[in-house]
A and B are shown apart, each in its own frame.
Chain A
Amino acid sequence: MIDRSTAAVDKSGVMRGLTSKNRVPLGSEIYNRILETLYDEAAALDERRFDDWVAMLDKDLVYTAPIRLTRTGPNRDRDVMRTMMHFDDTYESLLMRTGRLSKSAWAEDPPSRTRRYVTNVRVGETENADEYEVVSYLYLARSRGESPDYEKTTGERRDVWRFANGKYKLARREIILDQSTLSMSNLAVFL
């Protein structure tokens, strides 16, 4: 039984960050290729090349964004709640979302102008030789219509990238946003 109560603390062993003990060193061939892939992904999303983005996703992808909940005292650092999410998606549902964006999705028509800054990339080995744990920081700035104000958000992405046929594909992404109350009025953009 899952304890879904708001008052209860999320019992997940890992709250954030990299879990792998075997780091893939910065500057190594694998690290460089993964970094390049992250940059390519950000460019595909910023340039709204959604087919190119979907081509970077593996079919068994799990794509989630848990909520944050402010706590005090002994549980002050257990502020990720995985019982509720902002995104709870699969490969198929992301395909549905990108398909919608090509039709009447007023939330992105006119489209937002976005800029994704991906930094602080850390890579670790996993039990599977062709899979890598990749943690990165994301800063997303989003401009809507003629408004001079940016909508923005920040977070950490805990990914698994899988190497097959000469390419890395996204197999798992957990986006841990830093806001408990999001300032962005919708998440019609991918993180």
Chain B
Amino acid sequence: MLKKAGLVLSDGTTIDDLIDLKMNEVSLRVMNDPELHRFEMERIFARTWLLLGHDTEIPKPGDFVVRDMGEDQVIVARSRDGGIHVSLNVCPHRGMKVCTAEAGNTQVHRCIYHGWAFRPDGDFIGAPIEKEQMHGNKRTKSELGLKKARVHLYGGLIFATWNIEGPSFDEFLGDSKFYFDQLFCRTDSGLELLGPPQRFMIPANWKIGSEQSASDGFHTLTLHRSLMEGGVMGGTPESIYDNAPGMYGVDVSCTEGHSLRCLEAAQTFKMFSNVSFEGKTTEERLHLLPPPGITPELIPQLFKNLSPEQVDMLATIPPQVGGMFPNVLVLFIFAPRTDGGSSGALALHTYIPRGPDHFEFVNYIFAEKDAPEQVKRDMLQNSIQQAGTSGIIEQDDADTWPQIMRNTKGPMSRSITLKYQALHGHEKPEGWPGGGLLYPGFTKDDTQWNWWLNYHRLMSAS
């Protein structure tokens, strides 16, 4: 008896054939299937909340950036009243891009093809030669604006969705909000983007990057071995697998597919291993070892903006890496430097689908807005050297993912399944302050499996 599946491909394959819920396996075919890709664009990227940038990118009225919601390009613009608007970058007249720049400032977005003009909020102003009514008389001007997405600002991060009546942003974050707040909503002035994002192409499916962003801690030991060899993490190159630096902590997750790895710095980095927190108050611990991106003068702001439980987590076991479903990677790391300094590196990535076989890697680099200029300068340098285009960590990811992609083509290779069977199971550590699905101890496959469960849920819903 066939189970009723919410998604059936034209060859009869169902989503349950591709994602085996009993065995915790995913068919490699999901990484390269044009038909599935079209469903993903409709059922995930046209439905869920997506990260598009930060409000410090467009501080002035008229400022805009052009970004992507899946394969749909949008204009993210600030209107005269200070509001941020997200509108489809498709002229409703003949389908031309209304905006051909990546960023700029204008009060009028005028399509270069026939001159239809729009305000930063997407409203239609008019077509040239007003007396000739070149927008016709069948539709009112209010019907001829750019298609508008629903916008939400979270810690200055700009999110948007086409699902106008769908879940609120807080519902989308679910139980993970308690943890993400510790990264994005902890200071009075919030984060500042240090410059426009780096952009580069990866010849791989967007999910190859994204499933890793769902807190795949385990790959660090082998793929990022050079971090141990460089001497910044605990252990020596010879003892990497014995000491397993950075593997132990608490992975936090939720049914919405987001996750974060909370790690004790002293257990992870060699340079912090002599820091003893024994008998210290939360405040003393924060001064001994401020969380990534936080300077001593910002510490009082943490108590003001967060609950005591959240501050206590930042002081002992801060969230450092993870991701937000469907395509965001979070990297808020200590980033110890070879010169002994450590002001941290704060970065977010989005993995933008470009057909089933490519994605664009967009790397946003942040600092706290109220951090001293020199700290911002150091953090920018840390981030660029560790992550993104030339980053020594992510160079290795960028070379691995295309090789997985090459393996998605042959009939034998496509039927291989990815294994998510090293599972811990939800377990709430004693006295743990937050909610969600919790996995203490060695980092395992649970958080990534939760990512696939949410993928399965959204893809099954028509």
Q: Which A residues fall within an 8 A CB radius of B?
A: 1-2, 4-8, 65, 67, 69-73, 75, 81, 83-89, 92-93, 96-97, 99-100, 103-108, 144-145, 180-188
* A100→B229 CA distance, assembly (Å): 8
User: Which chain B residue shows the least CB distance to A149?
Assistant: B203
* A7→B226 CA distance, assembly (Å): 37
Contacts of A4 in B (CB 8 A): 56, 192-195
Contacts of B281 in A (CB 8 A): none
Can you show 28 pairs from A to B with CB atoms below 8 A apart? A4-B56, A6-B53, A6-B195, A7-B57, A7-B60, A7-B64, A7-B103, A67-B196, A69-B103, A71-B101, A72-B104, A83-B195, A84-B195, A84-B365, A92-B338, A93-B338, A93-B385, A96-B338, A96-B385, A100-B230, A103-B229, A103-B237, A181-B199, A182-B200, A185-B200, A186-B389, A186-B399, A187-B390
Contacts of A67 in B (CB 8 A): 195-196, 198-199
* A26→B398 CA distance, assembly (Å): 41
A interface footprint on B245-272 (CB within 8 Å = 1, 0 otherwise): 0000000000000000000000000000
Complex contact A106–B396 (CB within 8 A): yes
* A145→B389 CA distance, assembly (Å): 19
Q: Which B residues fall within an 8 A CB radius of A?
A: 53, 56-60, 63-65, 100-106, 192-203, 223, 225-226, 229-230, 237, 338-339, 360-361, 365, 373, 380-381, 384-385, 388-390, 392, 394-396, 398-403
Complex contact B199–A106 (CB within 8 A): no
Top 7 A-B pairs ranked by shortest CB distance? A84-B195, A83-B195, A7-B63, A107-B395, A182-B200, A6-B57, A187-B390
Complex contact A104–B385 (CB within 8 A): no
Complex contact B200–A181 (CB within 8 A): yes
Interface of B is mostly: mixed
User: Which chain A residue shows the least CB distance to B398?
Assistant: A186
Q: Which of A1, A85, A104 contacts B226 (CB 8 A)?
A: A104
| Least CB distance, A144 to chain B, in whole angstroms | 7
Q: Which of B193, B361, B402 contacts A6 (CB 8 A)?
A: B193
* A97→B392 CA distance, assembly (Å): 7
| Least CB distance, A82 to chain B, in whole angstroms | 8
* A3→B403 CA distance, assembly (Å): 40
* A69→B201 CA distance, assembly (Å): 16
| Least CB distance, B54 to chain A, in whole angstroms | 9
Contacts known (A5-B57, A7-B59, A87-B390); A92 close to B229, Cβ less than 8 A = no
Complex contact A107–B64 (CB within 8 A): no
Complex contact B58–A88 (CB within 8 A): no
Complex contact A186–B102 (CB within 8 A): no
User: Which chain A residue shows the least CB distance to B401?
Assistant: A185
| Least CB distance, B214 to chain A, in whole angstroms | 21
Contacts of B229 in A (CB 8 A): 100, 103-104
Contacts known (A7-B59, A72-B100, A87-B384); A106 close to B400, Cβ less than 8 A = yes
User: Which chain A residue shows the least CB distance to B58?
Assistant: A7
Contacts of B195 in A (CB 8 A): 4, 6, 67, 81, 83-85
User: Which chain A residue shows the least CB distance to B112?
Assistant: A72
Complex contact A71–B102 (CB within 8 A): yes
Contacts of A69 in B (CB 8 A): 102-103, 196
Contacts of A105 in B (CB 8 A): 226, 392, 395-396
